[in-house]
Structure 1
Amino acid sequence: MNRSVRMGRVLGVPLRIHWTVPLLLVLFGYSLGSQTLPAWVPGHSVGVYTIGGLAGALLLLVSLLAHEAAHAVTARRTGVTVQNVTLWALGGMTEMGKPRAAGAAFKIAVSGPLTSLLLGGATFGAGIGLHALTGWAMPAAVLLWLGWVNLLLGVFNLLPAAPLDGGRVVQAVMWWRTGDRYRAERAAARSGQVLGFLLIAVGWVSLLRGALGGLWLALIGFFVMIVANAERQHATLATALGGVRAADAMSSPVETCPDWLTVERVVNEEAMRARHSTLPLLDFEGRPSGMVHLPQLAKVPSPQRETLRVRDVATPMAQCGTCAPDDLLEDVLEKLTPRSGMTILVMDGRRLAGIITARDISRLAQRHALRGNGTG
C-alpha cells in the first residue's frame, strides 16, 4: 500500500504502517476514553479515562496485527509467498500470492477471523476474571471492550462477501465444488459489491440521524465496494487470459533503444518512431538492461537532457516484469508488483523475444468478449 512505512518484521514477515494508523488510534482512543469508559466505569478523572482509551486503542492495534499475522503465517505454511503485512485506518491487509488449491485458500481465509474470535473470547473472559479477583474496574472495562471489538471484528469478517474473509471462505468452497477458481472469485466479488453498497447506505442514514459512527461504516463500505469491483474485473480478465501463453500475447519484433544514448537523443529520435510508450533498453552487448517509460523523459529538466544517459532514468532490469515465451499469461500477471508496472519483457534465455503491454492484454480481453465467452 502506498504511503506506508516499513516498521520491522512480525513473525518473519515485513510489517508496514500506513500514515492513517495514528488516525485509527485517535478515533478509537477518543471514543473509548470519552464515551464508553465514563459510561461503564463512572467517577474517574479525565486523565484516567484518557490513559484507558489510549491503552485500549493500542491493544486493538495489536489485535489487528494478530489477525493479519494469522493470515500471513497460514499462507506461508501452505506454500504461498507473503510480501508484507500493512496496518491502516480500516484495519489490516496482507499482501500475498494466490493459493494454488482451494484447501489452502480456505485455511488462509478462515485463520484471521478465528484468531479474532479467540482473542475476543480470551480478553472478554480475562476482563470478567480480573474484575472478580481484584475489583480493578478500569482495566477490566478496557479488556471487556477489547473483547467485544474482537468478537465483532471476527463476526464482521465472516460475512460472505469479498474482500472480507468470509467472502474468501465462500470463494474457496465454490472453487472446491465447481473446480472453477475465477467463477468463484466473480461470485464473491459480486457479493462484496452488494455488501459495500448496503454499508454505505446504512452509514449515511446513521450519519444523517446524528450518529458519527455512520461515517466510519460508510468508509468501510466504500472500501469494500472498490476492492470487490477490482477483484471482479481481475477474475473476468483472468478468465479471458486462461491458457494464453506469453508468446501469443507479445508484440514482436520489439523496438529497442541503446541504453547509452542521451535523453536528448532518445526524445528527438527514438521516441518519435516508438509504437509503445515503453522502450526496452539494450546494453553494448545487445542484452536487455531495463526499460524506460517515455513520460519519464518529459520530467527530465532540459539542461540535463544532453548529458544524462537514458539508462540513468530507466527502470533497471532487476525491477522489470519478465517471463519466458511459454509461461501462462495469467501466472505472469499474478507475479507483477506495483514497482514493475504492467509492461512485461518476454525473455528467450538472455535474448529479448517480445514485449507485453497493458494494451496487448486489453486487446486479448476484448477479443474474448467478442467471442461471447465473457461471464463478467
Structure 2
Amino acid sequence: MKNSFEIGKIKGISIEINISWIVIFALLTYALATSYLPMNFEGVAATTAWMIAVIMALLFFSSVLLHELAHSLVALREGTEVKKITLFIFGGLAQIEQDADEPGKEFRIAIAGPATSLILGGVFLLAGELLARLGGPALIYVPLGYLSMVNFILALFNLVPAFPLDGGRVLRAIIWKKTKDRKKATRIASMTGTFFGYLLIFNGVFLAFSGNFLNGLWMLFIGWFITQAAQTSYQQVMMSDLFNKICVREFMTKNVVEVAYFTDIKTLTEDYFYKYKYSIFPVRRINEIMGIIGVEQVRRLDRTLWDETTVGSMAQPLGEDLVVAPGDCVSKAMEKVFRNGVGRVLVMEEGELLGIVSRTDILNYLHIHSMLGSGKDRVGLDLDKGEDR
C-alpha cells in the first residue's frame, strides 16, 4: 500500500502504518479525550484524559493488529506466504500472497481473526470486571470495558457474511465445500458483500440527511470500500482462474529487443526508446542478462551526462519479482507484473531470455476475453505486441 512505512517485523511479516491511519488514530484519540472520558469521569483532568485516550487508542489498534496477525500466522501455517500487514484508515489489512487452494484452509484463515477479537474482548472484559470487584480505579476498568466492547464489535462486524469480510470468506469456504465450485462460491459471497456495502451506503446517506453527518459520512465510506473490495476481489479470482490455465510459454512476446551494457544513454534514447517505442529494455552483458533499463531511470539523469553514462552502470539488477519461467502459469507472471512496479517480467530459462510478459499484454487479453467470452476454445492469445513495453 502506498504512503506506508514499516515499524517492525513479526515472524518475517512486515508491519506497516499507512499515513491514513495516523489521521484516524488522531481522531479516535481526540474523541476519547474530549468526549468519552469527560462524559464518564466528571472533572477528570485534561492531561489525564489525553494520556488515557492515547493508551486506549494504542490498545485498540494493537487489537486490530492482532486480528490481522492471527489471519497471517494461520496462513503461514497453511503454507501461504504473507508479506506484510498494513494499518490504515479502515483498520488493518494482511497481504496474503494467494487465496487458499481448498475450502478448509480458507475457513481456518478467515475465522482466525474474529476468533482472536472475541478472545481479546473476553480478556478485556474479565480484566475490567476483576479490577472493579477488587476496588481498582474506575479510570482503568471503565476503559477496559470500552476496549472489550470494541473488540466484540470488531469480531461481529467481520463475521457478517459479506465478502471480502472474514464472514464472507467463511461463507465462501462453506459454499465451496458443499458445491466443489470455487467460482460459484466466490460469486455468491461477493454478491452478499456488494449488497451489504450498498446497505451501509444507503444507511450512511440516511444518517447524514438526518443530522448525524459525521457518522453517516463514515458509514458511507465504509460501505463504498466494502462494495469496491467485493467486486474487485471477485474479478481477481476470475482473472486468477483464467490465467492458471495458460502457460507463460504460450502467452509471452518472443524476440525481445535487448540493449548492450556498454551503450551510452544518448544512444539508448535515440536508437531504442524513440525507435521501438518501448519504455523498458533488458540489458545484456556478453552472455547474460544483467538487468533492465527504463525511461524513468534515464529521466532522472542529468542530460549533460548522457554521452558518458553507460546503460550497464544504471541498469536495475534482476530480482525475483522481475523473472518468471516459461513453464509458469500466467497468473504467477500477473502477480509479479502488478506488484514489481515495472509492469512487466522477463521470461528466462537457465539464464537465457526467451520472452517478456507485460501489463498491457494481460489487460489486452482480458479485454478480448470479455468481448468474445470464454467458450471451450481459448481465444485472444494473438495480441497486439507493439505496446508500450
Shift of the alpha carbon at 1:23? Answer: 2.0
Alignment partners' CA distance in 2, 1:39 and 1:362: 55
Specify the SS of the correspondent of 2:2. Answer: coil
Query: Cα–Cα, structure 1 residues 125 and 160, in superposed 2: closer, same or farther, change >3 Å?
Result: same
Query: Cα–Cα, structure 1 residues 191 and 279, in superposed 2: closer, same or farther, change >3 Å?
Result: farther
The letter of the residue matching 1:119 is: L
Alignment partners' CA distance in 2, 1:356 and 1:332: 7
Specify the SS of the correspondent of 1:347. Answer: strand
Moved more, 135-144 or 108-117: 135-144
- TM-score of the pair, normalised by structure 2: 0.88
Specify the SS of the correspondent of 2:67. Answer: helix
- TM-score of the pair, normalised by structure 1: 0.91
Alignment of structure 1 residues 94-243 onto 2, 5 Å: 94-98=94-98, 99-208=100-209, 209-243=211-245
Contact 1:241 1:364 in 2 (8 A): no
Alignment partners' CA distance in 1, 2:370 and 2:212: 47
Shift of the alpha carbon at 1:15? Answer: 1.4
Shift of the alpha carbon at 1:150? Answer: 0.5
Alignment partners' CA distance in 2, 1:180 and 1:312: 51
Query: Cα–Cα, structure 1 residues 66 and 194, in superposed 2: closer, same or farther, change >3 Å?
Result: same
* Residue 328 (str. 1) matches residue 326 (str. 2): no
The letter of the residue matching 2:28 is: F
Specify the SS of the correspondent of 2:47. Answer: helix
For 2:87, the equivalent position in structure 1 comes to 87
> Structure 2, unaligned stretches of length 5 or more?
376-389
For 1:69, the equivalent position in structure 2 comes to 69
Query: Cα–Cα, structure 1 residues 358 and 54, in superposed 2: closer, same or farther, change >3 Å?
Result: same
The letter of the residue matching 2:316 is: T
Shift of the alpha carbon at 1:275? Answer: 5.6
Contact 2:193 2:227 in 1 (8 A): yes
Specify the SS of the correspondent of 2:225. Answer: helix
Identity of aligned residues (%): 30
Alignment partners' CA distance in 1, 2:30 and 2:187: 39
Q: Deviations over 1:162-190 (max 9, x none)?
A: 22111222222233333333443344334
Contact 1:320 1:340 in 2 (8 A): no
Specify the SS of the correspondent of 1:212. Answer: helix
Contact 2:337 2:359 in 1 (8 A): no
Q: Deviations over 1:30-63 (max 9, x none)?
A: 2222222233333422233222222211110111
The letter of the residue matching 2:251 is: A
Contact 1:198 1:221 in 2 (8 A): yes
Alignment partners' CA distance in 2, 1:13 and 1:239: 27
Specify the SS of the correspondent of 2:17. Answer: strand
> Structure 1, unaligned stretches of length 5 or more?
none
What is the number of residues matched between the two proteins? 373
Larger RCO, structures 1/2 (Cα 8 Å, 6+ apart): 1
Shift of the alpha carbon at 1:298? Answer: 3.8
Shift of the alpha carbon at 1:8? Answer: 1.6
CA RMSD of aligned residues (A): 2.3
From 242, 246, 254, the equivalent of 1:252 is: 254
Shift of the alpha carbon at 1:258? Answer: 1.5
Shift of the alpha carbon at 1:12? Answer: 4.0
Shift of the alpha carbon at 1:145? Answer: 0.6
Alignment partners' CA distance in 2, 1:113 and 1:318: 37
